[in-house]
Every structure is written in structure tokens, then in C-alpha cells.
Chain A
Amino acid sequence: MASIARKNLFEDIPRFLVAQAGIMFAVSLVTIQVGILKGFTRSTALLIDQSTADLWVASKDMVHLELTSPIAAEKVVQAQQVSGVERAEALMIRSSIWRSDSGLITPVRIFGFDPNSRLFAGWDVSQGKLNAVKQPFKVVVDRSSLKNLGQTQIGEQGKIGTLPAQIVGLSQDTQSIVSSLFIFTSLENANAYATAGLNTSVNCTRKTQGNLVCTNNFDNAPLDGKPASLTPPRSLSISDPISYVLIRAKPGQDLQQLKQRLEAALPDTRAYTQAELAEQTQVYWSERTGVGFILSLGATVGFVVGMVIVGQILYSSVADHLREFGTLKAMGASNWVIYSVILEQAMWMAVLGYIPSMAFCLGLGAWTQTAKGIMILITPATAGGVLILTVVMCVGSALFAVQKVTRVDPAIVFKA
């Protein structure tokens, strides 16, 4: 049968384009919101996903990757002695402030790791060399962070706290959307940055029973204060605080059993597999903060808006062609024939709205990733899901329009 649905759709091209614009808007809104939600969730665990560590040992207080209580570096040595551990190394995460030459300041999160190993940095630098961070006060930053750090290229220098920091490499796809800008460097540099600019003192008081109670005080020195002398960063001592012990298991190890052995050997810690830590971090950001809810809400609003737009378009289209549907009914067409015309029209609208919308969203995602470091993650599953959602949206709207045809008085055909 000549496709009445398709012909009706293309009968009035301006009207069709307006209708498609509405559907494209709705599809794009849903795709972008879902993409941002997934990109945001994924970005919070990018560093975990890209590491090659089998297990991450953290304080039992750990909430997510960047929020954990410090543990002593001696735990690295202790972990190394646990049966089944091939290699253990420290990861230090600290916060500080970056100051560019132009005076721009921005909060940063410093990741200190062993550049000789790839347990933490499973990723490659796209420009420069990762090993260069072994030198004093050299750092790697994510390519998308350069502008926000007030820098333009590799080789430029800023300050972290009161210490210099020269950019010697650029990483890619390592920055979380929701975090401060990431700085990657050696453990020694990270330790130096973490303590630089702090005035330390010890206050001791004698209590009535004769006990001496001492408290360590760390005070921030003014940022514009005179920097400490530039002595090379010292090696980590066993009492220095770190954030994680990264573990590579010996081949063939049962990770769950190794976790138990590590937790038994390292009091007040918990061991996580890569997947467990990634999930805990993603769940924190998507469920314990409002970000996930807001983005989910945006996707839902997009879907509802789409339903309304498509519903209105289809309903008015059916109203415009009511006499034709009445004619089909009078001629003896079954209700299903008429429903199939409306459903086919809805399917055409869905597919023709979906394809350009998805192309637009993929393009937008590529641009935001490159230009802004914001990931709009559109996986094949997302694309497939949005297609199904679009079809459901259009067919669901068509069901409203069908009601109008069901109620049409067939005698309408005899009205001039």
C-alpha cells in the first residue's frame, strides 16, 4: 500500500521540519543529559579504571577515591610482606592551590605516585614524558586543565603552594568533571607540595597527673610569603601519610582471599578491588550528591518534553487528516489499518528525529571533551537505549492520537 503515513509526513515540508526540530530537541536533551550523567559518573572513576593495580588498600574511613583518611607509608612495607602480593606501592592524594604566573589561583588535587611503575598511571601522556616527574617540582596535568590552570603549553611553570611546578607532560581523559584540577607527580614532589608553606610547631602541656600531652600544629603560611629554600624533595619516610597502598597480586591469586589477608595484616584498613573502588566512588557522586539526581531529572524532563512535543505534533496531524481516516473507516479499513498508519508516522518521526540528533550529540560530545574536558559519554548502549526511548516516546504519543481516530464519527465522510 502506498505509505499514507510517509506521504502525509512529507506533504508539508515546513511543518515536517518544525515537527522534527521539536523531536530533535527532545532527543538531544535526553541524550546529552544521559551522556553527561554517564560521563560524569565515569569521569569520577577514570583514574581507578585506568590503573593496573589489582587491589587498593585504604583507611577503613574511605568514602570515595578523593576522600579518605591518611594511612602511614609504613603500610606499603607491611603490605609487601603479605603472602600473594607481588608489588605494593604508595599513592598520595593531597589538595593544594595552583598559582599561575599571571596570579590566577585554582584549587588542585595532587596525585603522588611511583613513576617507575604503572600501577597507578596506567594511562599514557599524549605530550611530554611521564618519567620526567621524577625530577624535582615537575608535574603532568590533563590537557583539558591547561587553560584553567592559566597555562597554554607544556614547559610552562606555575606554583603549588609556595613551590614551583613545571608542566612536563600532558595526559588525556584523566580529569574528573566534578573535582579540582588533577596534578600528577612523584611521591616525593607530592609530599613536598603537601607540606610546603606550612608552619609546623609542637605544643606540649603537662596535665595534673603529670602526663605530658603534645599536639602537632600545621598552619598555612601566607601564599605570597617568602618561599622556603628550594631543596630537592626528600624521600618518603615510613611515618609520612599516604592515601592508598596499591597492590599487584602474584599471578593466580584469589583476590578476595588476598583482600582478607591484607586487611588482617594492615589494621584499620580495607582493601578494594578496582571494580569495587570504582563503584563506590561512582555511587557516592551519583547518589550521595545532588549532581546525579539533577542530571537524572534533566533526562526525565527531556523525555517528558519529548512526549508532549511528539504527542502534540501527532495529535494535530491526526486532527488534520481526520476526514481521511474517516474515509478509510467508511471504506471498510479495520481499526488496525488506521492505527498502523499513525504508528508508522510515529516511527518515521522517531527515526528521522533520532539520526540527526544523535549525530549532533556525538559531535557536541567530541567538542566538549576536547575543548572543555567535559565528557558526554554516549556509549553504544546509551545510543541504543535512547533510540528505544525515542521510539517509545513517539509510539506512546501516537497512542494518544489514536484515541481521536477511535472516536471519529464515520459519518464525517458525508460532510462536505
Chain B
Amino acid sequence: MTATQIDLLQSAGSASQANLSIRLERTEVNAIAARGVEMVYQSGTERFQALKNIDLEVKSGDIQLLMGPSGSGKTTLLSILAGILTPTSGSVSLLGEEISKLSSSKLAKFRLENIGFIFQGFNLFPALTALENVEVALNLKGIRRAAAHRQALDLLDQVGLSQQAKRHPQDLSGGQKQRVAIARALAGNPRLIMADEPTAALDSHNGHAVIELLRNLAKEKGRTVLIVTHDPRIIDVADSVAYLEDGVLKSGVRTR
């Protein structure tokens, strides 16, 4: 089955068809596929190979963890898989699209339509309210003011922050900020969620809340979630864990 066929099934609208498509994606289509990815940084005569011949496949609807010690290349790999960095060699396919071959403008459009990002540092716009932070993401996707306002409120409600919609990020706790970031990542219903250390800056309670939200994204909403993390608590909800060390993918563990 091709990605186009899956799209058709998803757009058919009925719950059974959507479930069918998700089930088929999980079993037959890789949402993320990396082949022979290498990344070399060159600075003068200095040459540093951050990633060495990475092969990785993430099935649709899975929660995939990327773990490993600091400096192992996790964030570099995440940047490449998200289409933010271009690998020195190798190819990356997202949702069946070979993104390595896309122009930068098409790649940006692909990210806009298909990927939601969650950052360790939240990366919220401090001058905007929680609501406006989510609205901006919706506006970028072409959703107009009134509809964006309505959807943003709905997304904040989904992460339990509708009461804090008018607050600015500096008035929110770390956990609340990350939930706003998750609401923003969900804007426009992207099929891929890429998260970089989403629980690193959070205490135990907020960490668990965020983990639960991520689990829901995959298990109830069918999103494919790629998470770079050091946090062992997330392993419990992951479908697969890949360990990276010195730029080499050491092992992959299928947890379920």
C-alpha cells in the first residue's frame, strides 16, 4: 500500500476506515525511513563525523525513542530526520516522500504541513500569549484568524490549558509551557511529531503529564512520534528505542 492510498483512507472520514489506515500504516508503511545517513562537520582542516551510516525505520503511529549519551549525535539525527539539516550523504524519507531531494522551499512547506515540533527549551514566543503562540502556528498553515482562534482554544483545551490562554509564557510554569508547545505542535493536525528532550526541563509531575500527552498523540490520534530523550520514564510508552553512541546506531529495541 502506498502513502497516497493511506491518505485516501484517512480522508474517508469514518472511524473504522481511519482505524484501518492506522493499522495498515503501523504494519506496512514506515513514516520515517533513513538509509545510510552520514553527517560530517568540516571546520578548516578539522573534520568531525557526527553520524555514521545510520539506518532507521519508524513505523506510522509508533513512538520511537532516540537515546544515548550527550554528544552521541541524537539531536543532529533528529534535525536531519526533521528536514532541518541536510545530511552529508544518505537519504531520508518521511511519509513516503524522499525529503533529501526536495528544494529548501518545498522542504519548508513539507515541514509546515506534516511535522509538529516540541523543543526542550519550549521555544515559545515570549511576547505572545499562550493562545497567540498556537494561533501563529495555525496562521502559518493558512488557517484564518477566526478559525485559528477557535482551533487554538480547542488545542489548549486538549492539553488542559484553556484557562491559561491569555497568559504569556513567563507567567506559566515549565510544565504549562511545554503543554502550550505541544498544543502548538498539534496545530494543523501534523502526522509526525518530533520532540527534543520534551521532559528534560520538567519536574516529575509535569514530566508524567507530558509523557501521557505524547502517548495519547500516538495511541489515540495515530501520530508518529519521534523523541530524543535521556528520560527513562518515556521508555514505558515507547514502541521502539534506538541507542546512539559516537554517531553510530548501536542497537534498536522493539518494546512491543
- A residues touching B (Cβ–Cβ < 8 Å)? 1-2, 4, 7-8, 10-11, 323-324, 326-334, 337, 410-411, 413-416
Contact = CB atoms under 8 A, between A and B. Distances in A.
A2 B135 contact: yes
A317 to B, nearest CB: 11
Contact of A330 (B111, B128, B201): B111
Interface stretch (B21-29, B113-121, B157-165, B237-245): B113-121
B8 interface: no
B118 to A, nearest CB: 11
Interface string B183-220: 00000000000001100110000000000000000000
A414 B140 contact: no
Interface in B77-114: 78-79, 82, 84-85, 105, 108-113
B159 to A, nearest CB: 18
B108 A413 contact: no
B17 interface: no
Leading 3 A-B pairs by shortest Cβ distance:
A332-B112, A1-B139, A332-B111
B119 A414 contact: yes
Contact of B136 (A4, A334, A416): A4
Most-contacted residue by chain A among B84, B109, B140, B197 (CB, 10 A): B84
Contacts of A411: 75-76, 79, 84-85
A1 B126 CA distance: 15
A5 to B, nearest CB: 9
Contacts of A337: 140
Contact of A1 (B79, B127, B140): B140
B127 A4 contact: yes
Interface of B: 75-76, 78-79, 82, 84-85, 105, 108-113, 115, 117, 119-121, 123, 125-128, 132, 135-137, 139-140, 145, 196-197, 200-201
A329 B196 contact: no
B78 A414 contact: yes
B121 A415 contact: yes
A416 B111 contact: no
Nearest to A11: B127
A416 B110 CA distance: 25
Given A324-B123, A333-B108, A411-B85, A4 B117 contact: no
Given A414-B119, A416-B197, A2 B84 contact: no
B16 to A, nearest CB: 32
A416 B228 CA distance: 13
B84 A331 contact: no
B110 A332 contact: yes
A87 to B, nearest CB: 71
Contacts of A330: 82, 84, 111, 117
B200 to A, nearest CB: 7
Contacts of B137: 331
Contacts of A1: 135-136, 139-140, 145
A415 B123 CA distance: 10
A7 B128 contact: yes
A332 B120 CA distance: 18
A326 B117 CA distance: 12
Given A4-B128, A332-B108, A323 B123 contact: yes
Contact of A7 (B127, B196, B200): B127
Given A329-B108, A330-B117, A332-B109, A324 B125 contact: yes
Given A334-B105, A414-B75, A327 B123 contact: yes
7 contacts: A7-B127, A330-B82, A331-B137, A332-B140, A333-B140, A410-B84, A416-B197
Nearest to B74: A414
A416 B113 contact: no
A337 B140 CA distance: 8
Contacts of A410: 79, 84-85
A331 B140 CA distance: 9
B178 to A, nearest CB: 13
Given A330-B111, A332-B140, A413 B127 contact: no
Contacts of B108: 329, 332-334
Nearest to A333: B140
Given A414-B78, A416-B121, A331 B112 contact: yes
B139 A2 contact: yes
B82 A11 contact: no
Contacts of B197: 416
B201 A331 contact: no
A140 B119 CA distance: 79
A416 B139 CA distance: 26
B125 to A, nearest CB: 5
A413 B140 contact: no
B136 A11 contact: no
Contacts of A2: 128, 132, 135-136, 139
A328 B59 CA distance: 27
Contacts of B135: 1-2
Given A2-B139, A330-B117, A331-B140, A413 B201 contact: no
A324 B184 CA distance: 14
Contacts of A7: 125, 127-128, 132
B111 A331 contact: yes
Contacts of A331: 111-112, 117, 137, 140
Contacts of B119: 327, 413-414
B126 A11 contact: yes
B110 A413 contact: no
- From A2, A10, A326, A415, residue with most partner B Cβ within 10 Å: A2
Nearest to B145: A1
A221 to B, nearest CB: 78
Given A323-B123, A333-B112, A415-B121, A328 B140 contact: yes
Nearest to A327: B123
Given A7-B127, A11-B126, A411-B75, 6 more contacts: A7-B125, A324-B125, A327-B123, A330-B84, A331-B112, A414-B120
